[in-house]
Amino acid sequence: MDKNARIAIIGAGPAGLSAGMYLEKKGFFNYTIFEKEDHVGGKCHSPVYNGRRYEMGAIMGAPSYFAVHEVEEFCGITHDGPQLIRKYKDKDGREIDPFNPRKNPLQIPHMLKMKGQVKKLAELLETKYKGYDVNGHRGVAEGRYDGYAATASHEHVEGHNENLKDLCLPFKDFCALNDIELVQDIWVGPYTSFGYGYFDEIPAAYVLKYLDFATTMYFINLNLWTWKDGTQSIWEHLNAKLKHGARLNSDITHIERKDGTVTITVNGQQEVFDQLIVTSPLQYFGSYADIREDEKSHFDKIDYERYDVLAVETKPEDHPDISYYVFENMTPERRGHLMVYYNRWRDDVNQPITTYALRNHKDEKEIPYDVCKKTVLNDLKTMHNPASNVIKEQAWYYFPHIYSEDYKAGWYDEVEAMQGRYNTYYAGEVMSFGDMEETAEYSRDLVERFF
């Protein structure tokens, strides 16, 4: 592609900003990033409270965050935030220690069985499911892999592996097929409680590409990264470092793709580009763009999670000592309940804690926002950490994804075949997974393939 191509990028979250970085690395400097909000970072959102930043969106990374690390190096920053430590409670607010054999001697046979199944999964992923962990979903439904490996080598790999078709199954069925049902008890912590849905509805590909074996072990062993000024600061640094920082408060009202150009009407003015990279939700692309039938028929199949975050104050005497996971609330039946609460600044009782709840499950009635909020505040009382005040709340458009039937029918390969068709490229969460690493890595892959 001509290095002077005029490239428009929609969205200044991790996907859009890292697309800018990778374009620069390849010598493309004629790009513009449009952001509708008055700040960058998207779902990496770290507001200030009493002189410190807390997290309303993304919280952590891991040593397997290779693309995020590339961003850190590009900006000269590092993960310098508070250490993450957690404990567990049951739904009635009693502290438990479910993985400690000394505390649960009767559970030792079950724990040994679980350990054996985790080991078995590790072996299966290395052998039967070789290629499972590459970024993106190209080829999976056809039994292929093609993308960047989630390893330190960070290299492009591709190959055939018919077994990868099993990744189209919901994770629960994938586990049953391989006789490793108990691994779900481990994976559920960093999966469902982080808002990514329930294992009976979400294709295994999403679960295992995000929680590849190494990343899961980092979660278990709490070898995790945080940032003192919040995850948003990563993207603020990147935005400042790029040749062209994002154009904030951009209100895009129309996009027309015709005769090899892309005309964007933004804040009432028309601007003309050669190429378009969309990192904003594809589900809503048709509300402002001249969406074509092939785009619409695919983007209509996307669903998302209703994931709510509250930032609350407590009285000093009610402040939790640490962060807590409530495993019993990570089931579809208990949707709308508190699954995790996060105490980021453990040295300061005047900082807020944040709470996390999921409200939806495929084909079931969604819990209304206000009901969920009330339930979560009640749950905090049950946990003996009642809130005195809600300081911020957010119902996120979270983890856009498709379901198993569409995954298996080739949704990803069809959308990948559409890349560039209308001078338009699709990136962001649904193309890979809803986390910082996968979205940044996918932007790398996209720029490498097409620019």
Residues that bind ligand FAD (CB under 6 A): 10-16, 34-37, 42-44, 57-61, 194, 250, 252, 279-280, 309, 396, 398, 428-429, 434-437, 439
Which residues are bridge partners to 325 per DSSP? 88, 340
CA distance 451 to 447: 5
Nearer to ligand FAD, 50 or 249 (CB): 249
Beta strands 86-89 and 323-325 are: parallel
Least Cα distance to 310 among 233, 379, 367, 360 occurs for 379
Q: Which one, of 226, 285, 242, lies nearest residue 57 by Cα?
A: 226
Q: Which is nearer to ligand FAD, 146 or 435 (CB)?
A: 435
**Angle at the Cα of 379 from the Cα atoms of 222 and 232, rounded to 5 degrees:** 45
> How many whole angstroms separate alpha carbon 347 and alpha carbon 148?
39
Report in angstroms how near the CB of residue 35 gets to ligand FAD at its nearest.
5
CB of residue 156 vs ligand FAD: minimum separation in angstroms?
21
DSSP letter at 307 equals E
Shortest Å distance, C-beta 91 to ligand FAD: 21
Beta strands 340-342; 323-325: pairing state: antiparallel
Nearer to ligand FAD, 173 or 303 (CB): 303
For residue 21, give both structure tokens.
């970085």
Closest to ligand FAD by CB, 61 vs 139, is: 61
Length, in residues, of the chain: 451
Quick one: 174 or 396, whose CB is closer to ligand FAD? 396
Please identify which residue in the block is written with the tokens 């300081």.
Answer: 391
Q: How far is the CB of 341 from ligand FAD (least distance, A)?
A: 12
CB 197 within 8 Å of CB 185: no
Torsion angle, alpha carbons of 310, 340, 64, 444, to 10: -30
Q: Please, what is the minimum distance in Å from the beta carbon of residue 368 to ligand FAD? A: 19
What SS3 state is found at 374? helix
Between residues 164 and 446, which has the closer beta carbon with respect to ligand FAD? Answer: 446
CA distance 89 to 393: 23
Instruction: Find the shortest distance in angstroms from Cβ 14 to ligand FAD.
Output: 4
**Ramachandran angles phi, psi of 437, nearest 5°:** -65, -50
Q: Cβ of residue 209: shortest distance to ligand FAD, in angstroms?
A: 13
Q: Nearer Cβ to ligand FAD, position 59 or 387?
A: 59
Are the CB atoms for 224 and 80 separated by under 8 Å? Answer: no
Q: Which residues pair with 418 in a beta bridge?
A: none
* Closer residue to ligand FAD, CB minimum distance, 95 or 251: 251
Angular region, 287: left φ>0, alpha ψ -120 to 50, beta rest: alpha
Nearer Cβ to ligand FAD (28/65):
65
CB of 356 to ligand FAD, least distance (A): 6
Q: Residue 108 Cβ, how far from ligand FAD at the closest point, in Å?
A: 32
**What single-letter DSSP state applies at residue 435?**
S
